[in-house]
A and B are shown apart, each in its own frame.
Chain A
């Protein structure tokens, strides 16, 4: 069914626009301003045009960080989205199990991000950490501070542990919003569990899954605190993701101009991919809807 044509709907959107624009527009403009200037100090700045953008785009360390970032976010999506859906499907729908599952799922999400990194430092330490001690006890030499692969495995474990509940909670709420009548109809038709999932649950979850995929993509692409605390970007540069490198440029070298150019390029990459995901997911939806 078509939406109703009505421009007065703008009045319903206006409060949201005002409140978001207040924090969004001026800082963005300021960063754009930084990105085309060379800043020596207060009041001393020179317009340099696209100079910083050229410099940043030619930086091979940025390219390395970018590929690492794509690999990381790709793995995150491939693991967390299916796992989250599976968990949501397995969760109980009535009784005390519902409350227990929901509260349990929420726990990792509620710990501040810097603390998550710190807790995992201890958790993976071979001498006093449960995970580190258990893995070493199995006879596997595991050290995330020395070996890049181990550092990646630890980061992925932490990331999946931390964020899969978000996907599961969204998917669960989406599943609960499907009217009982749909399931009854499927039962009468003698549909298999897979058919029910594929033709009823999955299309009905499109909205929540779109937001889950976009959220996990954006947030994992911007990940900073957890890897910074856990590995500090090392060993070597093996876990230096884009935002860790950005902070190195911005704070370490105190170069506001290049850092601002870097931020804008970073922002545009996320924007482009989110838009592509969004368009693709919209299409998938319309294809499946009758």
Chain B
């Protein structure tokens, strides 16, 4: 009986959650005149015109490609640097560990507006403006601390006896980490990978400041839909629907890791 109620509650929540997204989908299949002209629960005269425009206009689709490239670089850097660091924080005492751990998170706490100018100056000094690596590095500022914090939480949930047993059995650190430890925290790695991808994907201020054309992100391209004649709602909605797709694929790939989680029996 309780399970029934839970499922109904969850279904209602998901229905509400999908409403704005449905509305975006609805708009993306209509022309701008049609959207502004009448209220319609579903597109009476559906058209793929908005999507075709995005897929055929290079200034549009290159935005997606640019975003995917720098977001992928960022997610890779974040995960690979954060995994060993999170292990160190969860297992060892070392000088300054607590301060270091909290300092990492303070990098997410500064309001971006005034920091953009010195950021631009710093990255131009290194000649990095308008490159993928610039945006990927800048996003590390908030993604690496997040990755360390999430992974540390999951790693601390793994009993330390597992490490000790493995070392006694003669495992080297890298071999233990990859073959024994990582599978135990796969839910954490999955959720971290998704969050790094997501935060880098939707970030606009840094990405726009550090790029001109070659690495311009999709979120910046989308602000172009505001023109002299007003906003092209249909085009914006289609672009919005398409921005969801890559991230949805990411969570699709990590879903099994998320759901399986912890299985002590394997050790």
Physical interaction between A and B: yes
Q: Among the listed A3, A20, A104, A193, which residue makes an inter-chain contact with B93, where contact means beta carbons less than 8 Å apart?
A: A3
Q: How far is the CA of A271 from the CA of B97 in the complex (A)?
A: 18
Which residue in A87, A133, A176, A259 is a CB contact (below 8 Å) of B13? A87
Q: Which residue of B lies closest to A3 (CB)?
A: B93
The residue that B187 contacts in the complex, of A101, A107, A176, with Cβ under 8 A, is A176
Contacts of A12 in B (CB 8 A): 84-85, 87-88
Docked-complex contact B102 and A170, CB < 8 angstroms? no
B237 CB to nearest chain A CB (Å) = 7
Return the contact of A101 from the options B14, B121, B148, B194 (Cβ within 8 A).
Answer: B14
With an 8 A cutoff between CB atoms, is A56 at the interface? no
Which of A6, A130, A206 meets B23, CB within 8 Å? Answer: A130
Q: Identify the interface centre among A10, A219, A270: most chain B CB within 10 Å of its CB.
A: A10
* Known A107-B17, A110-B247, A161-B20; contact A5-B219, beta-carbon cutoff 8 A: no
A177 near B109 (CB under 8 angstroms)?
no
B204–A179 touching, CB < 8 Å: no
A188 at the A/B interface (Cβ < 8 Å)?
A: no
Contact of B260 among A109, A118, A176 (CB under 8 A): A176
Complex Cα spacing A161 to B201, Å: 18
Which of A13, A34, A170, A271 is close to B191, meaning CB atoms less than 8 Å apart? A170
A211 on the B face (CB < 8 A):
yes
Q: With A and B bound together, what is the CA distance between A172 and B92 in angstroms?
A: 27
**Bound-complex Cα distance A270 to B102 (A):** 13
Contact across chains for B20 and A123 when beta carbons are under 8 A apart = yes
- Evaluate contact between B91 and A120: CB separation under 8 angstroms: no
Q: How many angstroms from the CA of A122 to the CA of B233 in the assembled complex?
A: 9
Q: Judge if B152 is at the interface, Cβ distance under 8 Å.
A: yes
- Complex-state Cα separation, A113 to B106, whole angstroms: 22
Distance to closest chain A CB from B118 (angstroms) = 4
A106 touches B247 (CB 8 A): yes
Contact, CB under 8 Å: B88 / A13:
yes
Binary CB contact string for chain B from 98 to 120 against chain A (1 if under 8 A, 0 otherwise): 00101011111111111101110
Interface residues of A in 68-85 (CB under 8 A from B): none
Do A9 and B243 contact each other (CB < 8 Å), given the known contacts A17-B100, A98-B259? no
Chain B positions 205-260 with a Cβ under 8 Å from a chain A Cβ? 218-219, 222-223, 231, 233, 236-237, 239-240, 243-244, 246-248, 251-252, 255, 258-260
CB distance from B27 to the nearest CB of A (A): 7
B110-142 at interface with A (beta carbon < 8 Å): 110-115, 117-119, 121-122, 137-138, 140-141
Contact B7–A177 (Cβ < 8 Å)? no
B85 near A1 with CB under 8 A, answer: no
Contact A23 B119 (CB under 8 A): yes
Q: Given that A12-B87, A90-B6 are contacting pairs, would A133 and B236 also be in contact in the complex, using a CB cutoff of 8 Å?
A: no
Contact check, A130 vs B19: say whether CB atoms are below 8 A apart: yes
A214 CB within 8 Å of chain B:
yes
The interface-forming segment of A41-49, A139-147, A232-240, A241-249 is A241-249
Chain A residues with CB under 8 Å of B144's CB are 16, 19-20
Give min CB distance, A226 to chain B, whole Å. Answer: 11
Q: Is B9 an interface residue (CB 8 A)?
A: yes
- Give the docked Cα–Cα distance between A260 and B117 (Å): 11
Interface contact A256-B223, CB-CB below 8 Å: no
Within the complex, what minimum Cβ distance (angstroms) separates B105 from chain A?
A: 7
User: In this assembly, does A274 line the interface, its C-beta being within 8 Å of a C-beta of chain B?
Assistant: yes
A128 lies within 8 A of B36 (CB): yes
Question: Given A10-B94, A115-B219, are A19 and B113 also a contact pair (CB < 8 Å)?
Answer: no
Partner of B140, one of A8, A20, A104, A119: A20
Chain A residue at minimal CB-CB distance from B259:
A98
Q: Which chain A residue shows the least CB distance to B138?
A: A23
Q: How far is the CA of A20 from the CA of B147 in the complex (A)?
A: 12
Closest to A94 in B: B259
Cβ of B196 within 8 Å of any chain A Cβ, yes or no, is no
A177 and B95: CB pair below 8 A? no
Please determine whether B92 and A9 come into contact, CB atoms closer than 8 angstroms: yes
Name which residue of chain A comes closest to B5, CB basis.
A90
Q: Which residues of A contact B140 (CB under 8 A)?
A: 19-20, 23
Using a CB-CB cutoff of 8 Å, which residues 56-83 of chain B contact chain A? Answer: 77, 81-82
Please determine whether A271 and B219 come into contact, CB atoms closer than 8 angstroms.
no
What's the Cα separation between A177 and B154 when bound, in Å? 8
Which residues of A lie under 8 Å from residue B172 when comparing CB positions?
Answer: none
- A residues 95-151 in Cβ contact with B at 8 Å: 98-99, 101-115, 118-120, 122-123, 127-131, 133
Q: Are A90 and B7 in contact (CB under 8 A)?
A: yes
Asked if A215 and B146 make an inter-chain contact with CB atoms under 8 angstroms apart, the answer reads yes
Indicate if B185 sits at the interface (CB-CB under 8 A): yes
B130 → chain A, closest Cβ, in Å?
17
How distant is the Cα of A94 from the Cα of B188 in the complex, in angstroms? Answer: 18
Q: List 19 A-B contacts (CB under 8 A).
A: A9-B88, A9-B91, A19-B77, A19-B144, A20-B107, A23-B122, A26-B122, A106-B248, A108-B20, A110-B247, A122-B23, A122-B233, A170-B191, A174-B154, A176-B187, A256-B117, A266-B110, A270-B109, A271-B106
Smallest CB-CB A-B distances: 8 pairs: A207-B153, A176-B261, A30-B118, A110-B247, A112-B219, A9-B92, A12-B88, A27-B118
